[in-house]
Amino acid sequence: MNLFQRVCDDEEDYWRVRNFLREVFVANGRLENSWHVARLDHWRWHLIETCHITPPFTQVTAVWETAAGELAAVLHPFGDGEIRLHIHPRFRSVAQEAEIFAYAGEHLAAETARGKIVIVPVLADDTLRQEALTSLGFSRQPGWNHHYWRDLAAPIPTAPLPAGYRLRAMGDESEYPARSWCSWRAFHADEPDSNYDGDYSWYGNMQTAPLYRRDLDVVAAAPDGSIAAFCTCAYDDYTRSAVTVLVGVAAEHWRRGLGKAVVLEGMRRLKRLGCTRVFATAAEKPADALYRAVMHTHRVTDTWVNWSGLTQKPSTAGD
């Protein structure tokens, strides 16, 4: 089937892509062969709005559609040459994916001192995508992500909390400074505190995301009332699935079981809302150890790289 490519150019496209990801997720048996809709929101409202890892959605997102206007595939950057392809399984073929990745090489490659680079995370068992990338000169490089999930049918265990700590939902805007400081101490513990700019406005961006719910923004409060750990869950009731979009523990509270406690509390709250499956992704060893302890299953993505631009272009995409 011939597909037609165009660049997204208005707000309406974003909401079409959101619903498309829901359809793809269900068509893939509720597995993350493409992004969960919560990850798209996190990319837009946090990684773009706050971290500026890419230009806005409407400047960098391309779609492939049928002649009738049905979405078939979505392509966008993830920063520093990384790209993400979300494609409906009905339209997958080696030729079609090679055509899309060739477009990525021309339009989304990052300029580096070594030349242009395109980086694609690929599930280890996705031989179709691996074949498409190999035909374009990509090769597998060191680097991994573990994609965890847990079904919530069974009872969720309770993790013991140290004396004086308690679990609760995130508070109102007055807690932005404390929540932002906890995030800094969780993710920048090896940096001097003088590097912290004190800007907590980013948390307002987080809370404006469509799937954000304060009752699913779980924090562990220390005995002195400060925020010691957090697990922010985004729940999509259409697919009855969720993603833990941000999880962290302030360095001074490490090794007290707080990470496990906030994630399991998030799962309990999700289950009460009707959620049946929750996802998490780990790219570093501490997060990997945590999710391995609380999730049941995982898959692996490898890193595929093309450094010098695509060595050849496919002719015509086929079925």
- The answer to whether residue 289 sits within a structural domain is no
On whether residue 70 sits in a domain, the answer given is yes
Task: Name 7's bridge partners.
Answer: 62
pLDDT confidence bin for 143, thresholds 50/70/90:
confident
> Which pLDDT belongs to residue 114?
86
In the predicted model, what is the mean pLDDT of residues 249-278? Answer: 98
Q: Which domain holds residue 187?
A: 166-275
Mean per-residue pLDDT over the chain, rounded: 95
User: Are residues 127 and 236 both part of a single domain?
Assistant: no
pLDDT for 181: 97
Q: What percent of the chain has pLDDT over 70?
A: 97
Calculate the alpha carbon distances from 188 to 143, 248, 272, 298, 316 in Å: 21, 11, 33, 27, 47
124 and 193 share a domain? no
In a domain, 290, yes or no: no
* Whether residue 313 has pLDDT greater than 60: no
Which residues, at least 6 apart from 39, have a Cβ–Cβ distance to it below 8 Å? 243, 245
- Structural domain count, the chain: 2
Check whether 315 has a pLDDT greater than 50: no
Are residues 87 and 127 both part of a single domain? yes
Mean pLDDT of the region 149-164: 96
DSSP string, 129-153: HHHHHHTTT-EEEEEEEEEEEEE-S
- pLDDT for residue 302 is more than 70: yes
132 in the same domain as 24: yes
Please give the Cα distance from 36 to 239 (Å, whole number): 10
For residue 241, give the CATH number of its domain: 3.40.630.30
Positive or negative: CA dihedral 263, 277, 25, 146: positive
Domain-located, residue 185: yes
Query: In this structure, are 20 and 78 located in the same domain?
Result: yes
- Mean pLDDT along residues 167-185: 97
Global pTM reads: 0.93
What pLDDT, on the 0 to 100 scale, is given for residue 316?
A: 42
Sign, CA dihedral 251-253-257-262, equals: negative
113 with 172, same domain: the answer is: no
The reply to whether 204 falls in a domain is yes
- DSSP output for the chain: ---EEEE--SHHHHHHHHHHHHHHHHHTTS-TTS--HHHHHHIIIIIITTT--SS-HHHH-EEEE-TT--EEEEEEEEETTEEEEEE-GGG--HHHHHHHHHHHHHHTPEEETTEEEEEEEEETT-HHHHHHHHTTT-EEEEEEEEEEEEE-SSPPP-PPPPTT-EEEE---GGGHHHHHHHHHHHH-TTS-GGG-----THHHHHHTSTT--GGGEEEEE-TTS-EEEEEEEEEETTTTEEEEEEEEE-GGGTTSSHHHHHHHHHHHHHHHTT--EEEEEE-SHHHHHHHHHH-SEEEEEEEEEESSS-S---S----
Same domain, residue pair 135 and 15: yes
Q: How far apart are CA 56 and CA 188, in angstroms?
A: 26
| Residue 161 belongs to some domain of the structure | no
Q: Is the pLDDT of residue 281 over 60?
A: yes
Q: Looking at the structure, do residues 119 and 192 belong to the same domain, yes or no?
A: no
Residue 318 has what pLDDT? 41
Residue with tokens 């700590």: 165
pLDDT, tens only, 72-122: 999 999 999 999 999 999 999 999 999 999 999 999 999 998 899 999 999
Question: Can you give the pLDDT at residue 310?
Answer: 54
> Nearest-CA neighbor of 308 among 129, 142, 137?
137
133 and 223 inside one domain: no
Average of per-residue pLDDT across 23-38: 98
pLDDT at 142: 80
For residue 184, tell me if it sits in a domain. yes
105-131 burial code (b ≥16 CB/10 A, e <16): beebbeeeeeebbbbbbbbeebeebbe
**Chain-centroid distance, C-alpha 254:** 24
Position 309 scores a pLDDT of: 54
Whether 74 and 107 map to the same domain: the answer is yes
Same domain, 200 and 138: no
133 assigned to some structural domain: yes
